[in-house]
Chains A and B, each alone.
Chain A
């Protein structure tokens, strides 16, 4: 899979996360299911779940489109004192 396609998948993950955050149609559940498992407010526990999903999403993004710099690049990382600053 080319990087372009993998990056496209990353954009899709971002879009899904954005939609899940702006999921106004789910707000009705705040009233219908006020407490999840009888003690967790839905509006609150939704974002506890969202945080776990965010960890998984970042893991997926990292596996998909976050390559480490190759040796030929890292060998060029040197002393910066004489450089730009």
Chain B
């Protein structure tokens, strides 16, 4: 049960978040550029923590630890191994070129960047639709995960609906007044908090279980299969290979990540972020992997979704109630830092890429509408998180794959002058349709040749982009010059 110290820690945590929002709101200029992009002045630490905290979701502590509980140490490489390198690499591959275009032409979102490169309103609209389509269910799932975790950790003292309400409510309190600046400042606070406290928790659990070497020896003795990747069916090489195309390369396509990259002050900031990003990913997933595997010998016998609660269970069974609250703070920090960025990203997209199709908005009107939309999206997400409709949850189940198959168009637009709007349009639509046909079991699974559907869809996106672009007229030289003329002057 939560004690007074615990309640005090929670109050301090919430107070700091609200204070950051209040202060951020006071110093923010009421302009679109300042509200949604923090004036494109984010330094290295701000960009780093903004990307990292937005990237890490409840899955890290809840789902991943549960997966490690079932599959062993191999879960570490399977889920995050390739991401450790390729996610920061995409910040270079896609992020830097997009940042250059953003700085030069004022682009702030993917619909603007890629609609601008291809000079196509349709490409811009497709990016907008797909990004909203995949981000909103993902947002709902984040709220559900956070709400369940909050309820589990408080042992049902806080009901699920109230947990979800608190998580969204506090996020809104600092996001509405301060926009991107508020979420980035809270990301710095929450990201640091969850990294430090997660390591402290791991060390406390290790001590309680007899020490790192002792637990490992126990695993070798009682459950040696946890050490061997080859023994796990789920980690079969074909799944391992396919998974390389899901979470790792999807990250740069998330609108909340992409926009934060465009908000960096300089090229140096992005370089520093890319260089140190692997360590942060390795640490946080390393902690949850160890917790999950240790849990398999400390609290054996959990099955299915029960295993997802292994971290709260370990804390509950082996540590004091104050640690329980610290664990809760970690979960809240992780969940809220991703939810606020997703909420801001969808309201940003609609404000700058959808509303202007009907009415020209001044800078101040855009800020006003951005705030209104934040509340609307938060309300919708809260309601959907309560009723949990199956259709939304099944879309969320392949949202990462949906993001991933958009990447070939983004890379093609930035690296291949011959890519045109027809190729981009087809390469956005065709793989998305195929992904749905596979995931909704309309097409038999053998048609993916044993791979997860994301892999053939990804390959299809590349092929469609190339073939359709070659079969249709090349972009006019003046259009190519706008993008590739700039790149030629930078990349010499």
Do the beta carbons of A21 and B228 come within 8 Å of each other?
no
Name the one of A35, A70, A85 contacting B108, with C-beta atoms under 8 angstroms: A85
Do the beta carbons of A61 and B492 come within 8 Å of each other?
no
Assess whether B491 is interfacial by the CB under 8 Å rule: yes
Do the beta carbons of B274 and A62 come within 8 Å of each other?
yes
Q: Which residues of chain A in 24-82 are interfacial with respect to chain B, using CB atoms and an 8 Å cutoff?
A: 24, 27-28, 30-31, 34-35, 38-44, 46-48, 50-51, 53-55, 57-59, 61-62, 65-70, 72-74, 76-77, 79-81
Assuming the contacts A34-B224, A51-B281, A55-B279, asked whether A83 and B92 have C-beta atoms less than 8 A apart, the reply is: no
Stretch at the interface among B19-27, B237-245, B319-327, B423-431: B237-245
| B residues in contact with A65, CB < 8 Å | 491
Cβ distance B211 to chain A, nearest Cβ, rounded Å: 10
Q: Is the interface of B mostly helix, strand, loop or mixed?
A: helix
Do the beta carbons of A30 and B227 come within 8 Å of each other?
yes
Q: Which residues of chain B in 372-407 are interfacial with respect to chain A, using CB atoms and an 8 Å cutoff?
A: none
Chain B, residue nearest A40 (CB): B216
Assuming the contacts A22-B240, A67-B491, A84-B116, asked whether A41 and B73 have C-beta atoms less than 8 A apart, the reply is: yes
Assuming the contacts A34-B224, A47-B76, A85-B32, asked whether A55 and B267 have C-beta atoms less than 8 A apart, the reply is: no
Do the beta carbons of A14 and B89 come within 8 Å of each other?
yes
Assess whether B271 is interfacial by the CB under 8 Å rule: yes
- What CA separation (Å) do A77 and B212 show in the bound complex? 52
Stretch at the interface among B79-87, B179-187, B451-459: B79-87
Q: Is the interface of A mostly helix, strand, loop or mixed?
A: helix
Name the one of B107, B279, B363, B492 contacting A81, with C-beta atoms under 8 angstroms: B363
- What CA separation (Å) do A14 and B274 show in the bound complex? 14
Chain B, residue nearest A6 (CB): B491
Chain A, residue nearest B268 (CB): A68
Most B-side CB within 10 Å, residue of A44, A50, A81, A83: A44
Chain B, residue nearest A80 (CB): B106
Assess whether A8 is interfacial by the CB under 8 Å rule: no
- What CA separation (Å) do A55 and B486 show in the bound complex? 29
- What CA separation (Å) do A77 and B278 show in the bound complex? 30
Name the one of A28, A46, A76, A85 contacting B77, with C-beta atoms under 8 angstroms: A46
- What CA separation (Å) do A68 and B241 show in the bound complex? 34
Do the beta carbons of A30 and B230 come within 8 Å of each other?
yes
Chain A, residue nearest B85 (CB): A54
Do the beta carbons of A43 and B227 come within 8 Å of each other?
yes
The 6 tightest CB contacts between A and B, nearest first, are A83-B106, A80-B106, A51-B282, A54-B278, A54-B85, A43-B73
Sample of 21 A–B contacts (CB below 8 Å): A14-B89, A18-B82, A22-B237, A24-B240, A30-B74, A31-B230, A41-B216, A43-B72, A43-B77, A47-B286, A48-B282, A51-B278, A54-B84, A55-B275, A57-B85, A58-B92, A67-B491, A68-B268, A73-B486, A73-B489, A84-B112
